[in-house]
Structure 1
């Protein structure tokens, strides 16, 4: 039992209940952290990370381990939880995940307080003891509310970040120069784009075919349509100026394996974002016959290697 001197109350603390409740909450907090950070989620690592958090909830109740209730102790625990759940992700990504852990924890804590004080009418009390919420006489339906909030943050929050302000951070201006002509289109940095030219190993920027109508000859574009049975013969059917620029780029996508994408090397591309400007000719453009963004916010997908090397 633990005696709370501030209230004069003696409260029985059931370690198994504290371990279970904190394990469940920490598990879903770590899961939502991975979703928001766009990291691969492994259940076994989430279990280990959540177990560390559950043990911490017991440690802070012991007077001889008062260090764990300090700011430094809490920070170390959060650090270990993220490190165990999502190792080897790089310093920048780790810091981002670490911050997401706190954001989700604060949101979950707010949801718990709202559920207890607004939805639960049964007599009882909640008090913080060494950083741990002690609940007595209150129904545990608040835990369901908290998990719903975390689920929303994990699923809905990721999609909001992906489609909202995160896209703004990843959007670039792409200017393509070819044969004294140029087009300027919005491009999204896509870490999922790993296409390279198999011969030169140069990265491929995926571009909507329709976005290049003003840049390329009219009789050329129809031949580049995906699914064209003559696409493999295209390089040999053009003059030397064109054929030396063309490539057939293998790709795999959902529902289609061993596909071929027509690509060509422009004279120069210029990529601009909030931080820098990149000018390079060491890329290929891969043409696709479909919109890349349903809202039309971008018309090209940049290969991450381009920004990493410049």
Structure 2
């Protein structure tokens, strides 16, 4: 059985698939990537794999080199290798994504037999994943580091700079930041609940929020450090956001 193979179609389709896989892996693993570096690495990787496919007569040898050499190098080029475990997790995630996308691509080819449609769908997938990644990246850029101090003890958390958090203590008028209640347990000394105030979020009814007062809070954002004396902290049970790294919602009044 013979079939026609077009190098340009193969290169473009695989380039879009590889970029889609990189964006999807960055989304799934909450990792960052640079668009320019990602594009350059994917172009180099796909070009190299295309040349190998043309030169090598045995497809098995090509597959071994592709999966054991080219894909690991591409993963390293895009995401780096901070530690071996994280690198392997990223590589396996990319393999899984490519496996699923390859199955979808083959199904489209068998059912519709249109290489143009394959390229179009791959491009749409890459564009969609890129948009989602950019949205996630903007959220990540709104995260700052906060140190919470109780006496000589301190706990460092990732806080989301939430311009929608306008909650204030009705008695003192001071801003109230929202913190995961589990974080407070990291302090050796118990902090007494000072008061309860009413609050509500989108999709929920009014509820009582327990307030504690810490000794100080240091906010690190945009190269500056802001120290707040005796900040009022509202305690929230469960996750603050879908991003598991975020443990605190900063008040809008503290955002620079």
Residue in 1 that maps onto 2:24: 32
Change (3 A) 1:94 1:142: same
Spell out, residue by residue over 1:266-296, the C-alpha distance to the aligned partner (whole angstroms, 9 max, x if none).
xxxxxxxxxxxxxxxxxxxx82366764799
Asked if the contact 1:197/1:249 (under 8 Å) is kept, the reply is yes
RMSD: 4.5
- 1:144 CA displacement: 3.2
**Paired residue for 2:155?**
203
In the alignment, is the contact (CA less than 8 A) between 2:147 and 2:217 conserved in 1? yes
The residue that corresponds to 1:307 in the other structure is: none
Structure with more relative contact order (C-alpha pairs < 8 Å, separation 6 or more) = 2
Asked whether the 8 Å contact 1:194–1:203 carries over to 2, the reply is no
CA shift, 1:65, in A, is 8.1
* Unaligned segments of structure 2, at least 5 residues: 136-142, 158-178, 200-211, 249-256
What's the TM-score once normalised by structure 2's chain length? 0.56
| Residue 250 of structure 1 pairs with residue 218 of structure 2 | yes
Bigger Cα Rg: 1
Cα contact 2:148–2:156 (8 A) shared by 1: yes
Q: Unpaired segments of 5 or more residues in structure 1? A: 1-6, 125-137, 160-191, 226-241, 264-285, 303-310
Alpha-carbon distance change, 80 to 250 in structure 1, aligned in 2, over 3 angstroms: same
User: TM-score, normalized by length of structure 1?
Assistant: 0.48
Aligned length: 194
Residue in 1 aligned with 2:62? Answer: 69
- Residues in 2 aligned to 1:57 and 1:44: alpha-carbon distance in whole angstroms: 21
Question: Residue 145 of structure 1 aligns with which residue?
Answer: 121
